[in-house]
Amino acid sequence: MVPSEPTVILRLQIHFMVTANQQLIETLGVHLEGEYNLPPLAARIYAILILTDEDGLTFEDCLEKRGASKSSTSTSLNLLLNMGIITYFTKPGDRRRYFSIAKQKTFFLAKLQENLKRVEKEKAIITLVLDYHKKSSPKKFKEGQERTHIYLDYMNKNEALLTESIEKLKKILD
Amino acid sequence: MVPSEPTVILRLQIHFMVTANQQLIETLGVHLEGEYNLPPLAARIYAILILTDEDGLTFEDCLEKRGASKSSTSTSLNLLLNMGIITYFTKPGDRRRYFSIAKQKTFFLAKLQENLKRVEKEKAIITLVLDYHKKSSPKKFKEGQERTHIYLDYMNKNEALLTESIEKLKKILD
DNA sequence: CGTTTAGTTTGGTACCTTCCGAACCAACTG
DNA sequence: CAGTTGGTTCGGAAGGTACCAAACTAAACG
């Protein structure tokens, strides 16, 4: 039996939306894997939580939307909880937990703060190496000075930018 | 037999310098591992090449300084060569290759360019997610708009900073 | 030619990560 | 109480990474 035309179109549309969504979950998932050093499954679940319209997803929702095992879903959700990048809430008369991303407050703020830490760490390392070269081979040190200066200059400006943005963000969150 | 005092002091000093150097190699090594996604051994060899006073180290120098096997040393050096973060040169009448870090030119420039790529990639992803939310749940979208704006603003400024620094660096390298 | 030098390639081991199924537990429900 | 729901914990299995030792190769040396 051939379905009537409107049905076909509707099916195609739904299929398109579903696969487009899956695609986005995948894209975002890969990104998050790298960004937060998450295992594949945890990253996909995080992506699902970021993208959903619902106000919070249950354990089972997560499980079904990804098609993973109970144990892996449990492990992944707990990992995300421990990292503080998701939270859950409960509804009265409902034993289940509803998981959702920790308010974007935390999301972007954490990102900026993390970034700041990275910059500071790198500055520290560069200083360490520079000191070492200054002592052990002044010639080599002199050579690279100008380039190094540009790089350090960028790092400092970026650091200032970060501190400033963090302040701004904190202010609107009070 | 008890060594005379000066000998003891000398030994202690040498030991101190050696372990201090080893420590720095280790610290820098771990940093590079994370920064360039390098396997442990490759990262340590890279660190050794960054820190040495010599004008270039041979295969055997690398092998000895790290105490690794020939095969692993070979693999690691080739990996670093393929990634373009080290180079080698030869001396007339000497069959060996002398490895050294690719000029800091490439080092810092590559770092800035890599950073720029990361920022652009993240901006793209955020836009993607934002568009999705705008379409599927406008309420959710409105809520986070102010925070998102601050973050995107930071990203744009950082992007400008990076482009600028890259230009500066390119200029002094001509 | 045989020998030495400077590396490369191959095959295998050890470890680490990620996920799963199955058994388990703890709270509530009738 | 027994049964269901909402998870957690445990013991692998599969796959990937990083390293090593040993065999090999290719160029130079005498």
Contact list in B for residue A142 (CB cut-off 8 A) is: none
Query: Is B125 near chain A, with CB under 8 Å?
Result: yes
Contact list in B for residue A105 (CB cut-off 8 A) is: 147
Same domain, A69 and A126: no
What digits encode the pLDDT tens for the residues B145-174? Answer: 888 999 999 999 999 999 999 999 999 887
Same domain, A48 and A89: yes
Question: By CB neighbour count within 10 A (0-12 exposed, 13-18 middle, 19+ buried), where does B44 fall?
Answer: buried
Q: Which residues, 6 or more positions from A6, have their beta carbon under 8 angstroms from its beta carbon?
A: none
The secondary structure of A56-120 as a DSSP string is -B-HHHHHHHHT--HHHHHHHHHHHHHTTSEEEEE-TT--SEEEEE--HHHHHHHHHHHHHHHHH
What digits encode the pLDDT tens for the residues B83-131? Answer: 999 999 999 999 999 999 987 667 899 899 999 999 999 999 999 999 9
Same domain, B138 and B81: no
Q: Which nucleotides of C are covered by protein (CB under 7 A)?
A: 5-11, 17-23, 27-28
Predicted pLDDT of residue A173: 83
Ranges of chain A with pLDDT below 70: 1-18, 104-105
Predicted pLDDT of residue A130: 92
Q: Is 90 exceeded by the pLDDT of residue B2?
A: no
Same domain, B94 and B135: no
Domain boundaries, position B122: 105-172
Do B129 and A28 make contact, defined as CB atoms within 8 angstroms?
yes
Is B88:B101 a contact under the CB 8 Å cutoff? no
Three-state secondary structure call for residue A3: coil
Q: How far is A107 from chain B (nearest CA, A)?
A: 10
Same domain, B21 and B90: yes
Same domain, B92 and B9: yes
Same domain, B83 and B146: no
Query: Is B80 near chain A, with CB under 8 Å?
Result: no
Same domain, A60 and A134: no
